[in-house]
Amino acid sequence: MYESDLDIIIRVLVGVALSGILGWERETSGKAAGLRTHILVGISAVLFVVIGEHMAVSFRVYGDHARFDAANLVGAIVTGISFLGAGMIIFNRNVTNVEGLTTAAGIITTAAIGTLVGLERYVVAVGTTGIVFVVLRIAGYLELKNRVEKIKEAAREPDQP
């Protein structure tokens, strides 16, 4: 009826590996939420799915009068992780820019990947991790290149009186 604890640990380890890839990318980019944060988010998402599966099976044992809705569990994961992500967004009124949006989005994406791992959708989780990693690296490179060009342009323009 229940899967073995070893099967659950395998899911957690896959979640650690995939979350770690995204966390490493953020860490090497000097972002606030790095390796440890992403790994913990991935692990928690996997475990929430495992807990949800266990609850669904347990409630079925007690008959029809007990209900469990897996959609509510996923909603709770999204809400909790979104709260964490919101804490990473910094708005600077003086500079008119917002920082941390990509990190917050990465945290939510990591939770989604962890949820996929918890559901044993390994191919989708691995594929999504690869796509997200490439997007973060390529977009980061292009953004940096754009900033350098803007700085060069500003340096070429003469000061106006």
Q: How confident is the model at residue 1 (pLDDT cuts 50, 70, 90)?
A: very low
Query: Which candidate, 73, 84, 80, places its Cα nearest to that of 118?
Result: 73
**Does the structure show a pLDDT above 60 at 61?**
no
Q: CA-to-CA distance for 156 and 66, rounded, in angstroms?
A: 71
DSSP string, 86-99: HTT-EEETTTTEEE
Q: What is the pLDDT of residue 145?
A: 81
Q: What is the pLDDT of residue 68?
A: 65
Note the pTM of the prediction, 2 decimals: 0.72
* Mean pLDDT estimate for the chain: 82
Are the CB atoms for 22 and 132 separated by under 8 Å? yes
Per residue in 98-128, pLDDT (tens digit) is 778 888 888 889 999 999 998 889 999 999 9
- Torsion angles phi and psi, residue 32, rounded to 5: -65, -45
Q: CA-to-CA distance for 38 and 32, rounded, in angstroms?
A: 11
Across 33-42, average pLDDT? 88
Q: What is the pLDDT of residue 124?
A: 93
Which of residues 124 and 77 earns the better pLDDT score? 124
